A and B are shown apart, each in its own frame.
Chain A
Amino acid sequence: MINSLTNKDIAIIGYGEIKNVRRSGRTTYDFAAEATSKVLEYTGLSTKDIDGMATVLPSSEAGNNFWSNYLGDHLGLQTSWTQTTDTGGASMPGNVARASAAIQSGYCEMVLSIAAATPTTRRVDDQRSYRSEFRNPTGIQGPPGAFGLIMHRYMHQFDLKFEALGKLAVAQRDGAIINENAVEGLRKPMTVDDYLNARMVSTPLRLLDSVMPCDGANAIIITSTDRAKRLGVKKMAHPIAYSELTNFNIHDQQPDITDTGFSIVGPQALDKAGMSTDDIDMFHPYDDFLIAELLQLEQIGFCGRGEGSEYLLSTDISPTGKLPMNTGGGQISAGQPGLAGGQLNIIEALRQLFGEATGRQVPNPSTAMCTGIGVIPYVRNWGTSAVLILERG
């Protein structure tokens, strides 16, 4: 299988992240500027060193069909390669692969991959097609309703233990408490009982199964490993494998909604990297809902189909455990900065790989798997599944 990333010729050389906040009243541009400033400070680069930009279209700016132009203009970037990806939470892991390909093809050398979103201050998205005609008029409670359908179906086919989801919620909350960038209101301890007793949103999905939206931004810099070495960069992480799939099983009009594209891209990305799940030192999955993480564990192959609950209950997922998961709280406990949330767990993976996760450091990790999920289609499971494997340089 072709994998242009195995030779480790691409490097991520820095990250910048700012604190997630609710209803900031600030613009998406201001958040993007602060995260950009942070990553430039981290890497010692200036805006003039950047010649490529990749971003995601956030709901707070979705009415602007020149989003890349406006954003690059605001940030003072002259770029020879510019990309907005709009596959939701899969956009930012996807941008690592897209930027890598652009660098390998010679379109640019130094890419700022910037995600900013302020959905709790402003929302201007307007999704038509199945959403306006066949979803909204039914009264389904958006993504929580869709995941309620998925969870009940899962319970019909397999054994779902809510204690397992509660354990995952608590593990992530423990990370958020010591993550100063997490939404302040979420930085308080919780127990498995708190999860089990949480208010139902759309049965059997509870409030604590779900992300809390917020405003936020994060950025990474991607370049060639050669350039990184010439710059004297000491800490880097190589993207070594990436796979994505959109509209899994689209021709099946009555698909199994407990299955997703991860059944294909999980094993495929591991195969490209020449790895098995045992080689993954930590797992930073996209987490809009707890059940999405359980499904990913099964479909990527950390355990078998239907074994997710048992796997979670029997595995230490803390920073010092067998498979540390979303050690900074993930989106579920750090807050979901809209579609910028798709890069939040990549930032935590980099922090860990660079040995900078104070108070929650995984002992000497050399590999990480990050994932992305995009869009909730009409009575199906999610639309895009993406897997990115990182290795410490």
Chain B
Amino acid sequence: MAERKKRERPAPTPTNITKPFWDAVNEHKFLLQYDPEVDKYQFYPRGLSLHTGKRNLEWREVTGRGTVYSYTETVIPARGFEGEEPYLIAAVDLDEGVRLMSLLHNCAANDVEIGMPVKLCWDKINDDFQYFAFEPDW
């Protein structure tokens, strides 16, 4: 296999909508948008409530506990992940009722199972940026 040159890992560019989320991530806190009218969370962050179309959203800190909805082991790496393959990506259903996607740390490919409990952990992209990830909640 030809050796792939390591490129820079893509970092998010916070927007006026997502800045509170990323500011919190950089302090190792996980916020979700919450619609108090229908008592529902949503992810990814949007400019209005998915459920009502109103702009009445609040940010709430959540525990980051959930289960693996699905997973894939990346064999051909994405940009910025050259040399780290193979690595696991999981789709995670949070207890708060939203689904998100991230690296799954501290878990061998043979050990991952759909439905297994996971918890939030952190991942450094660069000196300025943290990212969220998950690991098994054994």
Interface residues in A89-140 (C-beta closer than 8 Å to B)? 128-130, 132-140
> Known interface pairs A137-B9, A140-B101. Does A251 touch B50 (Cβ–Cβ under 8 Å)?
yes
Contact between A149 and B131, CB atoms less than 8 A apart = no
Contact between A150 and B75, CB atoms less than 8 A apart = no
11 new A-B contacts, CB < 8 A, other than A133-B18, A148-B73, A253-B41, are: A137-B9, A137-B131, A138-B102, A149-B89, A152-B72, A201-B76, A250-B50, A251-B50, A254-B93, A254-B99, A257-B69
Q: In the docked arrangement, what's the CA distance between A203 and B89, Å?
A: 10
Contact between A141 and B74, CB atoms less than 8 A apart = yes
Q: In the docked arrangement, what's the CA distance between A140 and B100, Å?
A: 12
A139 nearest in chain B by CB position: B81
Whether, in the assembled complex, A363 has its beta carbon less than 8 Å from a beta carbon of chain B, the answer is no
Q: In the docked arrangement, what's the CA distance between A132 and B9, Å?
A: 12
Whether, in the assembled complex, B77 has its beta carbon less than 8 Å from a beta carbon of chain A, the answer is yes
Chain B 1-32 interface 0/1 with A at a Cβ cutoff of 8 Å (1 = within): 00000000111111100100000000000000
Given the complex, which residues of B lie within 8 Å of A70, measured CB to CB? Answer: none
A200 nearest in chain B by CB position: B75
Of all A-B residue pairs in the complex, the 5 with the closest CB atoms, nearest first, are A148-B72, A133-B12, A153-B70, A136-B10, A203-B73
Q: In the docked arrangement, what's the CA distance between A372 and B63, Å?
A: 40
Chain A 250-292 interface 0/1 with B at a Cβ cutoff of 8 Å (1 = within): 1101100100000000000000000000000000000000000
Contact between B74 and A139, CB atoms less than 8 A apart = yes
Contact between A199 and B70, CB atoms less than 8 A apart = no
Chain A 197-217 interface 0/1 with B at a Cβ cutoff of 8 Å (1 = within): 001111111000000000000
Q: In the docked arrangement, what's the CA distance between A150 and B41, Å?
A: 23
> What residues of chain B have their CB less than 8 Å away from a CB belonging to chain A?
9-15, 18, 40-44, 50-51, 69-81, 84, 87, 89, 91, 93, 97-103, 109, 114, 125, 131
Give the distance to chain A from B18, nearest Cβ to Cβ, in Å. Answer: 6
Whether, in the assembled complex, A48 has its beta carbon less than 8 Å from a beta carbon of chain B, the answer is no
> Known interface pairs A136-B79, A138-B89, A203-B75. Does A149 touch B13 (Cβ–Cβ under 8 Å)?
no
Give the distance to chain B from A227, nearest Cβ to Cβ, in Å. Answer: 44
Contact between A153 and B114, CB atoms less than 8 A apart = yes
Whether, in the assembled complex, A379 has its beta carbon less than 8 Å from a beta carbon of chain B, the answer is yes
Contact between A142 and B78, CB atoms less than 8 A apart = yes
Chain A 204-237 interface 0/1 with B at a Cβ cutoff of 8 Å (1 = within): 1100000000000000000000000000000000
Given the complex, which residues of A lie within 8 Å of B9, measured CB to CB? Answer: 137, 139
Q: In the docked arrangement, what's the CA distance between A138 and B10, Å?
A: 9
Q: In the docked arrangement, what's the CA distance between A149 and B103, Å?
A: 13
A207 nearest in chain B by CB position: B76
A142 nearest in chain B by CB position: B78
Task: Out of B12, B15, B44, B78, name the residue touching A140 (CB < 8 Å).
Answer: B78
Give the distance to chain B from A200, nearest Cβ to Cβ, in Å. Answer: 4
Given the complex, which residues of B lie within 8 Å of A253, measured CB to CB? Answer: 40-43, 50, 97-99
Q: In the docked arrangement, what's the CA distance between A149 and B78, Å?
A: 15
Q: Which of B14, B69, B125 is most buried by chain A, counting CB atoms within 10 A of its CB?
A: B69
